[in-house]
Structure 1
Amino acid sequence: MKSSSSTSAIADIKARLSIVDVIQGFVSLKKSGKNHIGLCPFHDDNNPSMHVNDEKGFFHCFSCGAGGDVFGFLMRYSNIGFGEALKELAAKAGVRLPAPRPRTKSARKKEAAAGRFFEINSLVSSFYSQNLLASRKNSAQAREYLESRGVTSKVIKEFKLGFVPDSWDALMKFASRNNISIGELEELGLVVARESGSGHYDRFRNRIIFPINEITGRICGFGGRILGEDGPGQPKYMNSPESPVFDKKNVLYGLYHSKSEIGRKRKAVLVEGYMDFIKLYTNGIRNVVATLGTAFTSEHARLLRRFCQEVVIVYDGDAAGIRSAVRAGEILLEQGISSSICRIPDGLDPDDYLGLHGPESLGELIEDAVDVSDFIIDDTFTRYREKKISSGESIRFLADMVSKIKDPVRRAEAVSRATGVFGIRESEFLSLVKSPDPGKNRGSLAPAALVPEKSIHEREIVRILLKFPGLLSAAKIENIEKHFENGDLKVILKRVGEGEFTEISSLMSSFEEIEMQQLLSELIFSSDDLIDETTSEKILNDCVRELELRDIAFKRNEVIDRIRKQRDSSDKSLERELVEKYRDLVSMEKAIRGTVS
């Protein structure tokens, strides 16, 4: 929740700015009844599907599900955080923001140190770039190598590629001329202390350099590709070690350059390394992003989720690449992101395939990518058929994969396909599948699945209470909340019940998360069909009753399972107790349904 001073500033900004006027600065809008409509900038929209309501102060796209208030629009459109959107809109509205809270001495020191490290990285990057363009022999060899890979001088400048000569101390000499200490270079991992303890040497010597940008464009680290063959103990590719400004599990190469296109298409193409990124990006596939030649992480998935709802994995076509793609696909499944795997034929990597067949052919392969769960099922069955893994291993592996799928529709499809391929009963397979955690990965579902089918009654309750908040007392909100399973809907219900937000716009502003604003805008826009309060109250009570019945059914099934397990036990008193509990639940169910026991 925001501070009162921040909340006041947000309210002032909204009072002074029309959301229609702000959005019209980016998108052409046309008046349509009480709304304005236009082409949605967050997906390839050919038929105006974005609606903007000036009175309520929010927008919603009925195709891709994007929605929110004026802050949510700017955050999504410009791929910026709430703080940046607040500053930009405050300046536009002429609202003076409250002074930030005084920071602790340690926080100020940490921030100053980070600023200094980013400054050093920028200076060092310029030094590396100058080396690549120098007339010395090694620099010419580096340029020849890049040219042989199809990297032009224009691309070198665009991505600020560089080179470190085959020297032990070139960077340290540069640092001494620019008031950069050896200690600072060592903390950033740019130099390494000699094992003998006497002096340091350049970490990236004799390597082509790829500066790594964090999301706002600042250089946080470097990647290096050795010039020539990698010798003993010398990896072909090397990244900066972790530092105060670099954590490889939270950084994706090229995202700073491609985030706008990824956001526009709502889809990212994921590759493994720097060269794959550069070649795809410069050949027109501009929604591409790369890991740093390292394993894809859940942090990477959450970072991508800020910009898109679909990821196509385009790793090397060899066995190792396929294994890595499957692991990345499982992580994306676990984070609720729709994903597919593109298999590059003949064991080629994307860069090689691009050179042989061109961008159009690679684009077609990407378009034909296979849904990740289908890919994993097919790949597992192939390995089973080739006797690389047993039937039991295959089924347990697929059950674990299905356990990671959060979307109930996609999960059911995967169960059906896996059991069909292996010829086993769904009940047997499901006994191995773990139930998803309903509170995990809030807001990670794609717009079409913002509210799963099982939460439909919860959605209807929130929708009605947003339209008719006066029904709250009749609804006994504290009793309703305990039946909610959907984490997002539960949060909205709780805030509505607290009664702090007398206007929808202020409720919307209480959420900084784009996903929450998206869900809330969908609920509000869809509530326009609720006209009669009396009828809505009846629907509300029916939905509450359905939630109560759902909970009783769940408890009843639990008791039945315990009774079955207890039958072989000598403790008959516990069995009688469970039977009595079962009867009580049946009586409660009948009472709720309005029948006589």
Structure 2
Amino acid sequence: MMHDSNGIDDVQRVRDASDIVRVVGEHVELRAKGREYMGLCPFHDDKKPSMYVVPAKQIYHCFSCGAGGDVFTFVQDYHKMTFREALKFLAERAGIKLESRGRRRTASDDADSVSRSVLLEANELADKFFRMILRHPEHGKAARELIERRGITQDMVDAFGLGAAPDRWDGLAMYLNEKGHKLDAFLNVGLLKSSDQGKGPYDAQRNRLVFPIRDQIGRVVAFGGRRINDEDEPKYINSAESALFDKSATLF
């Protein structure tokens, strides 16, 4: 099978397999109105249904905030993805194996995709670190005792991906340095903070029970930390907002 250099075949196959009513309906409650569908727009604080989905044209449009486009645009805006990420997401949803690179990519596409992928990888690595600490005989002991006191079962620990941050200022930072990882991405997503005293970066989460915050498709975009000792303040610390994490748009 031949494919042109822009990968239009891939895009068209995914578009044909991704009915916009079904895709939008997986994220927004829609109701039929004649030949169209309407629902609350997820891109602004919609009080009454102002977003219309038009099956015949395979588009959506909000008459309040102006958001609109095709199925790729919806996935990009809803999940904060690049075009390539949206194409891959919809392809996997439809069970389609991409055979070419997709549409011709621009330099900004590449930069954005690389940046986001690096940040996501940083969060995934930190998630593994926190889970490892929870299992550690010494550094995870206090967190495990808190879990036991709270009546949290192992099934719940596994389901929510609970972990622990060690009771030291440089636990994650030291681990990353020992593994040879660059720290820029971890600073960017707020896992590490820069020292005002000219010292190396220090951990944002310390001596806390840690849980990952995931987006709608399961990617780790941030972390929440609950104090282990009652005297520590504040009770909860969440990751700062980043290119991956918008507190107002993420449920946790």
Q: Same fold (TM over 0.5)?
A: yes
Bigger Cα Rg: 1
> Is the alpha carbon distance of 1:85 and 1:195 closer, same or farther for their aligned partners in structure 2, counting shifts above 3 Å?
closer
Between the aligned partners of 1:214 and 1:173, the Cα distance in structure 2 is: 28
Structure (1 or 2) with the greater helix fraction: 1
- Cα 1:7–1:173, aligned 2, differ >3 Å: closer, same or farther? closer
What residue identity is the alignment partner of 2:245? F
Per-residue CA deviation, residues 210-252 of structure 1 (Å, 9 max, x unaligned), is: 1111111111110001111234xx3110111122222212211
Asked if residue 210 in structure 1 is aligned to residue 215 in structure 2, the reply is: no
Residue number in structure 1 paired with 2:31: none
C-alpha root-mean-square deviation of aligned residues, in Å? 4.1
Count how many residue pairs are aligned between Structure 1 and Structure 2.
196
**SS class of match (1:208):** strand
CA gap 1:8/1:212 in 2 versus in 1, 3 angstroms:
closer
Say if 1:6 and 1:223 are closer, same or farther in 2 by CA, change over 3 A. Answer: same
**1:91 Cα deviation (Å)?**
2.9
- Offset, 1:152: 1.0
Aligned equivalents of 2:134 and 2:188: distance in 1?
24
Secondary structure at 1:224 match in 2: strand
Counterpart position of 1:123? 125
Q: Does 1:91 align with 2:86?
A: no
CA distance in 2: counterparts of 1:11 and 1:165, whole angstroms: 47
Distance 1:203 1:101, change over 3 A: same
The structure whose RCO (Cα within 8 Å, separation 6+) is larger is 2
TM-score w.r.t. length of structure 1: 0.29
Q: Is the alpha carbon distance of 1:99 and 1:186 closer, same or farther for their aligned partners in structure 2, counting shifts above 3 Å? A: closer
Q: Give the Cα separation in 1 of the matches to 2:206 and 2:17.
A: 52
Structure-2 change in CA distance of 1:68 and 1:86 (3 Å): farther
Within 5 Å, give how 1:1-12 maps onto structure 2.
Answer: 9=13
In the TM superposition, what is the alpha-carbon distance from 1:89 to its structure 2 partner?
3.9
Unaligned runs of 5+ in 1: 15-40, 43-55, 60-66, 254-597
Whether the aligned pair in 2 keeps the contact of 1:161 and 1:210 (CA below 8 Å) is yes
Q: How far apart, in 2, do the equivalents of 1:147 and 1:111 lie?
A: 41
Question: Match for residue 44 of structure 2?
Answer: none
Mapped contact 1:223–1:240 kept (Cα < 8 A): yes
Q: Do the aligned residues in 2 keep the contact of 1:13 with 1:90 (CA within 8 Å)? A: no
User: Structure 1 residues 105, 199: CA separation in 2 closer, same or farther (over 3 Å shift)?
Assistant: same
Q: Which residue in 2 is equivalent to 1:246?
A: 245
Higher normalized strand content (fraction of residues):
2
Could you say what secondary structure the match of 2:184 adopts? helix
Does the aligned pair in 1 maintain the 2:14–2:96 contact within 8 Å? no
The residue number in structure 1 matching 2:225 is 224
Instruction: Calculate percent identity across the aligned residue pairs.
Output: 29
Counterparts in 2 of 1:103 and 1:166: CA distance versus 1, 3 Å? same
Shift in Å, 1:88: 4.4
1:120 partner amino acid:
A
C-alpha deviation, 1:12, in angstroms: 6.1
> 1:10 offset after TM fit, Å?
7.2
SS at match of 2:210: strand
Which residue of structure 2 aligns with residue 182 of structure 1? 183
1:157 is aligned to: 158
Task: Return the alpha-carbon distance in structure 2 between the equivalents of residues 148 and 160 of structure 1.
Answer: 18
- Deviation digits for residues 240-279 of structure 1 (CA, Å, limit 9, x no counterpart): 11222222122112xxxxxxxxxxxxxxxxxxxxxxxxxx
> Counterparts of 1:11 and 1:130 in 2: how far apart (Å)?
41
Pick closer, same or farther for the CA change 1:188–1:151 going to 2, 3 Å. Answer: same
Cα distance change, pair 165–99 in 1 and its aligned pair in 2 (3 A): closer
Partner of 1:432: none
Matched, 1:146 2:147: yes
| 8 Å CA contact 2:165, 2:207 repeated in 1 | yes
- In the alignment, residue 130 of structure 2 is paired with which amino acid? Y
Q: 1:91 to 1:177 in 2, by over 3 A?
A: same
Deviation by residue 1:488-524 (Cα, 9 ceiling, x = unmatched) = xxxxxxxxxxxxxxxxxxxxxxxxxxxxxxxxxxxxx
Paired amino acid for 1:161? L
Distance (whole Å) between structure 1 residues aligned to residue 15 and residue 191 of structure 2: 47
Paired residues of 1:9 and 1:97 also in contact (CA < 8 A) = no
Q: What stretches of structure 2 of length at least 5 have no aligned partner?
A: 1-7, 19-25, 28-34, 38-52, 60-70, 80-85
Instruction: Provide the rounded CA distance (Å) in 2 between the counterparts of 1:156 and 1:12.
Output: 40
Alpha-carbon spacing, 1:165–1:218, altered in 2? closer, same or farther (3 Å): same
**Contact kept? 2:143, 2:228, Cα under 8 Å:** yes
The residue type paired with residue 149 of structure 2 is: S
Q: TM-score, normalised by structure 2?
A: 0.63
> 1:165–1:205: 8 Å Cα contact kept in structure 2?
yes
Q: CA deviation at 1:107?
A: 2.3
The residue matched to 1:111 in structure 2 has which SS?
helix
Shift of 1:161: 0.6
Cα distance, 1:100 vs. partner?
Answer: 3.1
CA distance in 2, matches of 1:11, 1:128: 39
Equivalent-residue separation in structure 2 for 1:7 and 1:165 (angstroms): 46
Shift of 1:154: 1.5
Aligned pair in 2 of structure 1 residues 219, 8: CA closer, same or farther (>3 Å)?
A: closer
**Partner Cα distance (1:196, 1:221) in 2:** 26
Q: Which residue of 1 aligns with 2:193?
A: 192
CA positional deviation for 1:149: 1.7
Q: Distance in 2 between matches of 1:7 and 1:201?
A: 44
Residues 192-591 of structure 1: matches in 2 within 5 Å? 192-231=193-232, 234-253=233-252
Tell me, in whole angstroms, the C-alpha distance in 2 between the residues paired with 1:205 and 1:131: 11
1:110 aligns with 2:112: yes
> Contact between 2:11 and 2:103, CA under 8 Å: does it hold in 1?
no
2:96 counterpart SS class: helix
* Distance (Å, rounded) in 1 between the aligned partners of 2:15 and 2:122: 40
Contact 2:10 2:102 in 1 (8 A): no
